[in-house]
Amino acid sequence: MSVNNRVFIQELIAKFANSFDVKDWDGLQSCFTESIYTDYSDLRDTPPQTITVSEYVRQRRESLDHLKLHHLVGNYEIDFPDSNSATCRASMIVWRKSETEEFTSHCVYMFQLTKQNENWRISGITQKVLWNDGTSSIHKGAK
């Protein structure tokens, strides 16, 4: 697969991460296919699910809008099973800060990506938490 596809996927995942930090909820929504598979069971006591992108963004906005955030992503490993699908494993540190407390997650994400009209979009996210630091109660739903 071309270098252009790899760069586009890295930029898409960076946009995903940065959208949280600047509270660009429309920008976040533009990163996805119409529905997405999510597995955040390592962070929350919720089973994996497939939901609409608008529901995904609504849930994230509701649980994170009151916090200061910083997502740092890297160590991209991208594979292309075929010309219209890809997977990307990436490491991420997610800092969350309220006025008085902090909660940080050190994670590995597995993104599933689909090519639609020559553009890559995220169609699935699985988050594996390596460890957390701080007060999880500042992030709604975190265990």
User: pLDDT tens for residues 94-108?
Assistant: 999 999 999 999 999
Structural domains of the chain ordered from first start: 3-138 (3.10.450.50)
Segment holding 108, helix H or strand E = strand 102-116
Cα 47–chain centre separation: 16
User: pLDDT tens for residues 51-97?
Assistant: 999 999 999 999 999 999 999 999 999 999 999 999 999 999 999 99
Q: Is the pLDDT of residue 1 over 90?
A: no
- If DSSP codes are grouped into helix, strand and coil, which group holds residue 70? strand
Least confident of 7-11, 32-36, 75-79, 139-143: 139-143
